Amino acid sequence: MLRAAAAAEQLAILALARADSVPSFAADGALSPPEVFSQQLVTGLSNGMIIALIAIGYTMVYGIVELINFAHGDLCMLGAFFALTAVGAFALDGASGAGGVVGLVALLVATAAFCGALNWSINRLAYRPLRSASKLSLLVAAIGASFVLVNLGLFWGGLPMEVFAGGTSAAAPKAFPALVEPKPAFTVGDVIVSRPDVLVLAVTVPLMLALTWLVRFTKLGKAMRAVAQNPVAAALMGIDVERVIGATFFIGGALGGFATVVYSIYNQTVGFQMGYRMGMDAFIAAVLGGIGNLPGAVLGGLVIGVVRAMSDGYVEARWTNAIVFGILILILVFRPSGLLGAKLREKV
């Protein structure tokens, strides 16, 4: 009842933004040609890759401390605000050519570092004291942390900077400059792949490969897998469990930082309540794939991205959230441990 006005305002603006970018094919009632389907598929896959990157942050943390890190989406929101501040402070939106690319890379790395450090700190301050508490306590603390971050986002949005529209309406969504212009990069048949689509691929795929390498082949990755399986045994083998958990939070947060920059460029709007939406999509993706399972998170992200795009295109955008949550509920009812998740058995 408290943030009603702000939320409605934001909903309206987001709906307008969507209406511009996503043509409604259902409106004219005609059967959609296959290119339209393919076009929605491209949009869906791009969004799906972003969602997947955020979902990895959920799934890594869940795998290691069995916590749904509720604050993860809001962490990404703060990352977007950080990026927007940096864009304003260093006038990155004016740069072009090689300078623009360097600026973009610097922005990505800085935001990732910011989000990683923030996630590490949240773990240190809020979750670490609760290591021996019940899972429910941990989840409640994460919800609390999420609310704190949302409030910090509200404060941040009130900064009197030009990129925040002077900060006079702290709660209002802010425009994020199109650092990569939404122009066609190339076409496949009649399907246009835009430059932001290419950006998404260029950022997400190498990161996922790097993460796979890290988890499979490095000492840290081995330690992470050991802690995920049995923290006590890992500690007995001389692994510094807290350090590994901290590293996991940092890496998960950093991936979220990369994702949030790409997301902001792709969608061109940021607001202090965006974390909730981003977090939900990513979390559902993680659950869909079986939480704790890295390839599952990527698969789940792609599925959610495509389902959203198809629902926007073929049903109606206003029903998309309901459809996505409906899918979540159905999956949990029929396969409570996700598509790729292993069945858990209670020890008696």
Per CB under 8 A, residues contacting another protein are 1-4, 7-8, 11, 68, 126, 129-130, 133, 135-141, 143-152, 154-155, 157-160, 166-168, 170, 276, 280, 283-284, 287, 318-319, 321-322, 325-326, 328-330, 332-334, 336, 345-346, 348
What is the Cα–Cα distance from 159 to 165, expressed in whole angstroms?
9
What is the Cα–Cα distance from 261 to 265, expressed in whole angstroms?
6
Q: How far is the CB of 41 from another protein (least distance, A)?
A: 23
What is the sign, positive or negative, of the torsion defined by CA atoms of 147, 152, 155, 156?
negative
Q: How far is the CB of 125 from another protein (least distance, A)?
A: 8
Q: In degrees to the nearest 10, what's the CA dihedral of 87, 75, 111, 123? A: 150
Q: How far is the CB of 335 from another protein (least distance, A)?
A: 10
With respect to another protein, which residue has the nearer C-beta, 160 or 189?
160
What is the Cα–Cα distance from 285 to 305, expressed in whole angstroms?
9
What is the Cα–Cα distance from 56 to 238, expressed in whole angstroms?
27
Q: How far is the CB of 50 from another protein (least distance, A)?
A: 20
Q: How far is the CB of 51 from another protein (least distance, A)?
A: 15
What single-letter amino acid sits at 126? A
Please state, as a whole number, how many other Cβ atoms lie within 10 Å of the Cβ of residue 118: 24
187 - beta bridge partners?
192
Q: How far is the CB of 114 from another protein (least distance, A)?
A: 20
With respect to another protein, which residue has the nearer C-beta, 97 or 168?
168
Burial label for 114, CB within 10 Å (0-12, 13-18, 19+), is buried
With respect to another protein, which residue has the nearer C-beta, 61 or 108?
61
Q: What is the CA radius of gyration of the chain?
A: 20
- Pairing outcome for strands 269-270 and 174-175: antiparallel
Token code pair at residue 136: 């429910």
Q: How far is the CB of 296 from another protein (least distance, A)?
A: 15
Token code pair at residue 341: 């998740």
With respect to another protein, which residue has the nearer C-beta, 86 or 223?
86
Residue whose C-alpha is closest to residue 265's, from 141, 122, 92: 92
With respect to another protein, which residue has the nearer C-beta, 169 or 212?
169
Site of tokens 């935001």: 111
With respect to another protein, which residue has the nearer C-beta, 86 or 203?
86
With respect to another protein, which residue has the nearer C-beta, 127 or 250?
127
Let me know how many helices (H) and strands (E) the chain has, helices first: 12, 4
Q: How far is the CB of 123 from another protein (least distance, A)?
A: 12
With respect to another protein, which residue has the nearer C-beta, 85 or 212?
85
Residue whose C-alpha is closest to residue 281's, from 323, 251, 219: 323
